[in-house]
Each structure stands twice: as structure tokens, then as C-alpha cells.
């Protein structure tokens, strides 16, 4: 009756997407990502020049490519972070299926670019590494399975996710790419633990991994060579680890000066796997500590937001993504200082590499989408409301 007399109340439109996205986003974390990307370009100006001259390109060829791939990665990150968790899940399932098929076809159509491991597709103008795009998709699919298994009459998602992880690890080990295989298994293990897996089962799985590593050491010359180099008490100064170790030692606290480093002329992977050695030599421990703080800030802030999340799928998927992101950075830096055997893994947002940059941008965009503030009560509210 009131509406008949006075007319219907005007319908209030929803909040525009961009203001809502900016209001709910973790601005500290995205700032850390942008700073890391800037540091990557800065280090690329020093690290990639010798390689460009060696390959007959102009000096800043690889820097320009890194900038182009980086802006594509940032665009993918921002676009993905604006999506709803439901849309992220749907697109991740589709992307996972495509990346899984590409990974399975690598032995037939892939190339090793002379590095002894068939991990890439050569596209002529660039290369594509399917495992980089598979990781975020796998995390979301595995989290979906685990969350579904907690529902009444739900599927055996925990078991299915484990089977899927084993298949992916086997495909990666065939390349061989034991670094990415360990990263996938670690991400799955973190999600499995958060989902409520018993510690005894995780210890048993860790034992199986150690046994599989022993078999790989006995049957893979590629794997054995890297383990032997890591365990050797003496470092050959003419190897990549030798050059990196010497560069870190020479850098000291404040570095030898911008552009004054020498390791970039000796290391073939100075712009990718060993970019942190260039940072340590030219800018010293100060910049290395700053990079560590930036990665730690993203991990800690993301986990603190996920701890308050009520949706089990979002909590599991976000935890898996941030665990992989943080551990990949830790592995890359750990290899440079001989805390870990060589893995051939890039430093997220800092190292050169198209597949790595774009895939990391997508993964972090997913993480930001999952950690955005939503109009819901936090999980602590549920725990306080339980009858005692």
C-alpha cells in the first residue's frame, strides 16, 4: 500500500568493482609485489647485459623482455584478484586441465634447450613451461577436493587429491624436474595438514619421499650430480655454485657498487636462478635482507588473513598458494648460499622468465582474490559462539 501511494523506493546499485576491489584488497601485500618487480628490473639491468652481448642482442634485450612479461604478469595478477573465489575456482579447473595435458605431452613435443631436462615448449619467439601454470591450478583443484570431502556424503577428496599429486610428481620426475615435483608435493602436504590430516600419515609420506629420492639418486645421473655437488665439502670455484658463493662473499654488507659486480660475466643463469647472487655482490646484504622481508611480509599477511577465513575451500587454496610462493623464494635463495642442492627454480617476480613471471602473477592474483575482505563473520566468531 505504501508503495502504491508514495512509489517504490529506488533500488540502490551495488558498489562499483574497482572501489570495492581496492577497499577489500591487502594493500601492503600488493605493494610488496610491486617493489619486488621493480627490484627484478633493477637487477636485470646488471645481470642480463653480458648474456645479451654473448648472444648477439642489444644490451637491454632481456630487460625489455622481462619488463614486457612483467607487465603481462601484473595485469594478470590484478585481473585475477578482482574475481570472486567461485570464478577463480572455475577458471582454475579449466586451466589445470589444459596445463596437465601440456605437461603430459612434453616427452613427445617438448625440448630441453640443451639443459638436460625436457621442460619447455619452443614457440619460436618464446618458450612455455607448463609446470609453472600447472602449480596454481593444482592447488585450487586439490583444495576443492579436500573441502568437498568434509561435506556430508562428500567424495573421497583427500584420497583423490593425493592420487592427483602423485601423478603430477611422476610426470615432473620424468623430465626430470625434481625441484618442481618437491614444490607440488610440499604444497599438497601443507593443504593436507591444514585440512586435518594426522601427523603420523604425513611422517609416513615423508618417509616415502625420502625412499623415492634414494631411488632417483641411484637411477638419475642428473639428480645424483646435483646432490653430490651439494654434499661435497669443497666447492669448485668454476661452477655456478662456486661463482655464486664467491659473489656473496665479495658483496659483504653494502656491496661492491652498482654495475661493479663480476659474477654476471661468469654465471650463465645470473639473470634467472642465481639473480640473488648479483643482488648480494652489487648491493650487499642490505638488499638481500630487504628482499627476504618483502617475501616474508606477503606470506605472513596472507596467512593471517586466511586464519580468519570461514570457507574451508578458500582457506585451503590460499594456504597452498602462499606456501608454494614462499617456499619457492626460499629454495631459490637457499641454493645460492648452498643451504639446498641446485633446483633450477626462479625467484618469484625478480628472476627473468616469461612462464615463471606470468604464472606467478596468476597465482598471486588468486591469492589476493582469496584474501580479500568479505562481508562475513570470522571463524573466531563461530568458535566463541559454541556452547561450552
pLDDT, tens only, 110-119: 887 767 678 8
**CA 7 → CA 1, 13, 54, 286, distances in Å?**
9, 18, 76, 66
Mean pLDDT computed over 179-198: 88
pLDDT, tens only, 84-101: 999 999 999 999 999 999
Distance, CA of 105 to chain centre: 23
13: pLDDT strictly greater than 60: no
**CA 232 → CA 224, 225, 242, 360, distances in Å?**
12, 11, 12, 33
343: pLDDT strictly greater than 80: no
pLDDT, tens only, 41-83: 988 888 777 777 777 788 888 888 999 999 999 999 999 999 9
pLDDT of residue 200: 79
Which of 301, 321, 306, 314 is CA-nearest to residue 365?
A: 321
pLDDT of residue 83: 94
User: Using omega within 30 degrees of 0 as the cis cutoff, is the peptide bond preceding 385 cis?
Assistant: no
- The parent domain of residue 245 ranges over 26-371
Question: Is residue 8 situated within a structural domain?
Answer: no
Question: Is residue 243 situated within a structural domain?
Answer: yes
pLDDT of residue 235: 65
Which of 178, 135, 146, 151 is CA-nearest to residue 358?
A: 135
Selected residue with higher pLDDT from 160 and 126: 160
Domain count of the chain? 1
Question: Is residue 304 situated within a structural domain?
Answer: yes
Question: Is residue 11 situated within a structural domain?
Answer: no
Selected residue with higher pLDDT from 344 and 4: 344
Mean pLDDT computed over 161-189: 90
Mean pLDDT computed over 261-276: 76
Question: Is residue 271 situated within a structural domain?
Answer: yes
233: pLDDT strictly greater than 70: no
pLDDT of residue 6: 44
Question: Is residue 378 situated within a structural domain?
Answer: no
**Rounded Cα–Cα distance for residues 109 and 329 (Å):** 30
Q: Which of 184-188, 224-228, 384-388 tops mean pLDDT?
A: 184-188
Average pLDDT, whole number, for the chain?
84
Question: Is residue 152 situated within a structural domain?
Answer: yes
Selected residue with higher pLDDT from 152 and 370: 370
Question: Is residue 377 situated within a structural domain?
Answer: no
259: pLDDT strictly greater than 90: no
**Rounded Cα–Cα distance for residues 237 and 278 (Å):** 16
pLDDT of residue 237: 62
**CA 157 → CA 150, 313, 329, distances in Å?**
8, 12, 29
Q: What is the DSSP string of 31-89?
A: HHHHHHHHHHHHHHHHHSHHHHHHTT--TTHHHHHHHHHHHHHHHHHHHHHTS-HHHHH
Counting residues of the chain whose pLDDT is more than 70, the rounded percentage is 87
Compute the residue count for the chain: 388
Tell whether the torsion through CA atoms of 110, 186, 341 and 232 is positive or negative. negative
Amino acid at each position: 500500500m505504501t508503495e502504491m501511494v508514495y512509489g517504490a523506493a529506488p533500488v540502490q546499485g551495488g558498489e562499483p568493482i574497482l572501489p570495492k576491489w581496492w577497499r577489500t584488497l591487502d594493500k601492503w601485500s600488493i605493494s610488496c609485489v610491486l617493489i619486488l618487480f621493480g627490484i627484478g628490473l633493477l637487477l636485470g639491468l646488471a645481470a642480463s647485459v653480458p648474456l645479451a652481448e654473448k648472444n648477439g642482442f642489444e644490451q637491454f634485450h632481456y630487460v625489455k623482455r622481462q619488463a614486457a612479461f612483467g607487465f603481462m604478469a601484473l595485469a594478470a595478477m590484478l585481473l585475477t584478484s578482482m574475481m570472486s573465489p567461485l570464478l577463480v575456482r572455475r577458471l582454475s579447473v579449466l586451466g589445470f586441465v589444459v596445463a596437465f595435458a601440456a605437461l603430459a605431452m612434453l616427452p613427445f613435443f617438448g625440448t630441453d634447450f640443451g639443459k638436460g631436462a625436457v621442460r619447455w615448449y619452443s614457440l619460436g619467439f618464446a618458450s612455455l613451461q607448463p609446470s609453472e601454470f600447472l602449480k596454481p591450478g593444482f592447488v585450487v583443484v586439490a583444495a576443492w577436493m579436500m573441502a568437498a570431502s568434509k561435506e556430508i556424503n562428500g567424495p573421497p577428496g583427500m584420497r583423490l587429491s593425493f592420487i592427483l599429486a602423485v601423478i603430477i610428481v611422476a610426470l615432473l620426475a620424468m623430465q626430470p624436474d625434481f625441484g618442481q615435483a618437491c614444490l607440488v608435493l610440499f604444497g599438497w602436504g601443507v593443504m593436507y595438514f591444514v585440512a586435518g590430516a594426522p601427523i603420523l600419515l604425513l611422517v609416513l609420506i615423508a618417509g616415502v619421499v625420502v625412499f623415492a629420492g634414494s631411488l632417483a639418486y641411484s637411477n638419475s645421473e642428473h639428480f645424483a650430480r646435483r646432490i653430490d655437488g651439494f654434499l661435497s665439502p669443497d666447492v669448485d670455484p668454476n661452477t655456478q655454485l662456486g661463482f655464486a658463493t664467491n659473489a656473496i662473499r665479495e658483496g659483504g654488507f653494502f656491496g661492491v657498487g652498482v654495475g661493479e659486480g663480476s659474477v654476471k660475466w661468469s654465471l650463465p643463469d645470473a639473470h634467472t636462478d642465481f639473480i640473488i647472487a648479483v643482488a648480494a655482490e652489487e648491493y650487499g646484504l642490505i638488499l638481500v635482507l630487504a628482499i627476504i622481508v618483502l617475501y616474508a611480509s606477503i606470506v605472513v599477511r596472507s596467512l593471517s588473513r586466511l586464519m580468519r577465513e570461514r570457507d574451508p575451500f578458500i582457506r585451503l587454496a590460499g594456504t597452498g598458494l602462499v606456501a608454494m610462493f614462499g617456499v619457492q623464494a626460499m629454495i631459490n635463495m637457499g641454493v645460492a648460499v648452498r643451504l639446498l642442492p641446485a633446483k633450477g627454480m626462479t625467484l618469484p617476480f625478480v628472476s627473468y622468465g616469461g612462464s615463471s613471471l606470468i604464472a606467478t602473477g596468476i597465482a598471486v592474483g588468486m591469492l589476493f582474490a582469496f584474501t580479500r575482505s568479505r562481508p562475513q563473520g570470522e571463524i573466531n566468531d563461530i568458535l566463541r559462539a559454541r556452547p561450552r
